[in-house]
Amino acid sequence: MENSYDLIVVGAGALGAFHAYFALQRGLKVLLLEKDARPMEATVRNFGQIVPSGMAEGEWFEYGRASLATYQAIQAECDLSIRPTGSVYLASSALEMQVLEEKHARYRALGYPSQVLTAAACRQHLPAVRAGYCAGGLRFAQEVTAEPDQLIHRLLAYLVARWGLDYRPATAVREVTAGSAGAGAVDARGRRYAGAQVLVCSGRDFQLLFPDVFAQSDLQLCKLQMLATYPLPQVRLPGAVLTGLSIRRYAAFRACPSFAQLRPDDVDPALRQWGIHLLFKQAVDGSVIIGDTHEYADLADAAALDFNNSDHINQLVLAEARRILDLPDWRIQRVWNGYYAQSKSQEIFQHSPDPRIHIVTGIGGKGMTTACGFAQHHVERLGLSRLPPSAA
């Protein structure tokens, strides 16, 4: 049967695309269906910071490490826009610096290289950083960045050309089924596709497929506001730049003994209210991407988050950004919102309404760093195998 596959994947974001990749590597016949003409959700709206250093030690740090290796392996074959730029955490106080030094020691024990930087060394590496902000830093030279508006499109083209992926954009799936005749998907035009297994990686879309499953889940939607300056070719800001508020926010640092001494009250309440922590990344055109903010809503109220981009919140972000960096031009060329789903109780949401159907979403704010490693592990765990030739 022409429309019959070992695996059908719904959704061509990072989770769906990397599941497809690892299934193809096992020799499976894979169909990837994407509702938009080009994916344009979280996977293209993010910073492109691939930072295992920010993950909690254990399972998700290991997914980050595995992702890093896979990004680099694919980049060696095909330009995904991965750049070996490294990442730096900037401490804004002696206490944050102590946390970074403790993390450095933990990473040494884990065999994950990092380098403690003095304040002067930070400013040598990142001349735009203000002396008054920076108490020192921790650098991960092995970490990489990507251009999110390019990465997924290049990856999909590579999967089609190199691995024979059957990729169908502009194909919204309206139903996923499993019955005595097998499993499959039906698109909005009524076309049917049969698959031994179906994987639903539909990101923050909770209305088209399995709305009742999502309504009963503890998933929530998170909205992030992002800004980008005009191109600043005279500024050199290589790699992912993470700041004191990131040290306070990222799970990686909670294991450090001094973390408990970082008092929430030391952070401006307005920044806390909107979940603001400052990250920077200079895109290849020289513009500096600045973010981000976090507003949460349960799925029943998610629509209310969708529309506005608040200038008040953007101004809070910019005021904090100006405290950290000295840029020659702070005019903003563009602003946008990004959205991701996350579970309140788990690192990722997984549910199988049938042994042949697997919903995987809600990876939260760490998908560019970990989706690849998670997908590799998940494809192995599902034990996906090829259909006998007569059925394919």
Ligand X SMILES: Cc1cc2nc3c(=O)[nH]c(=O)nc-3n(C[C@H](O)[C@H](O)[C@H](O)COP(=O)(O)OP(=O)(O)OC[C@H]3O[C@@H](n4cnc5c(N)ncnc54)[C@H](O)[C@@H]3O)c2cc1C
Binding flag, residue 137, ligand X (CB under 6 A): no
Task: For ligand X, give the closer residue by CB, 136 or 364.
Answer: 364
Task: For ligand X, give the closer residue by CB, 170 or 391.
Answer: 170
Residues 276-295 contacting ligand X, CB under 6 A: 292
Among 12, 159, 227, 241, binds ligand X (CB under 6 A): 12
String marking each residue 48-67 x if it binds ligand X according to CB under 6 A:
xx------------------
Among 42, 122, 199, 325, binds ligand X (CB under 6 A): 42
Task: For ligand X, give the closer residue by CB, 69 or 105.
Answer: 69
Task: For ligand X, give the closer residue by CB, 235 or 242.
Answer: 242
Binding flag, residue 324, ligand X (CB under 6 A): no
Interface size with ligand X, residues (CB under 6 A): 44
Q: For the chain, give the secondary structure using H, E and C.
A: CCCEEEEEEECCCHHHHHHHHHHHHCCCCEEEECCCCCCCCHHHHCCCEECHHHCCCCHHHHHHHHHHHHHHHHHHHCCCCCECCCEEEEECCHHHHHHHHHHHHHHHHHCCCCEEECHHHHHHHCCCECCCCCCEEEEECCCEECCHHHHHHHHHHHHHHHHCCEEECCCCEEEEEEECCEEEEEECCCCEEEEEEEEECCCCCCCCCCHHHHHCCCEEEEEEEEEEECCCCCCCCCCEEECHHHHHHCHHHHHCHHHHHCCHHHCCHHHHHCCCCCEEEECCCCCEEEECCCEEEEHHHHHHHCCCCCHHHHHHHHHHHHHHECCCCCCEEEEEEEEEEEECCCCCEEEEEECCEEEEECEHHHHHHHHHHHHHHHHHHHCCCCCCCCCC
Residues 178-207 contacting ligand X, CB under 6 A: 201-205
Q: Which stretch binds ligand X (CB under 6 A): 94-102, 247-255, 321-329, 360-368?
A: 360-368
String marking each residue 227-256 x if it binds ligand X according to CB under 6 A:
------------------------------
Among 136, 195, 244, 365, binds ligand X (CB under 6 A): 365
**Cβ neighbours of residue 190 closer than 8 Å, sequence gap 6 or more:** none
Residues 292-311 contacting ligand X, CB under 6 A: 292
Binding flag, residue 144, ligand X (CB under 6 A): no
CB of 16 to ligand X, least distance (A): 5
Among 4, 26, 36, 323, binds ligand X (CB under 6 A): 36
Binding flag, residue 34, ligand X (CB under 6 A): yes
Contact by Cβ (8 Å): 6, 384: yes
Q: Which residues pair with 129 in a beta bridge?
A: 325
Radius of gyration over alpha carbons of the chain, in Å? 21
Binding flag, residue 45, ligand X (CB under 6 A): yes
Task: For ligand X, give the closer residue by CB, 99 or 240.
Answer: 240
Contact by Cβ (8 Å): 147, 283: yes
Residues composing the chain:
392
Q: Which stretch binds ligand X (CB under 6 A): 83-91, 115-123, 153-161, 362-370?
A: 362-370
Task: For ligand X, give the closer residue by CB, 97 or 359.
Answer: 359
Task: For ligand X, give the closer residue by CB, 35 or 154.
Answer: 35
Binding flag, residue 35, ligand X (CB under 6 A): yes
Task: For ligand X, give the closer residue by CB, 202 or 217.
Answer: 202
Give the binding site for ligand X (CB under 6 A). 10-16, 33-36, 39, 41-43, 45-49, 172-173, 201-205, 208-209, 224, 226, 292, 338-340, 361, 363-369, 371
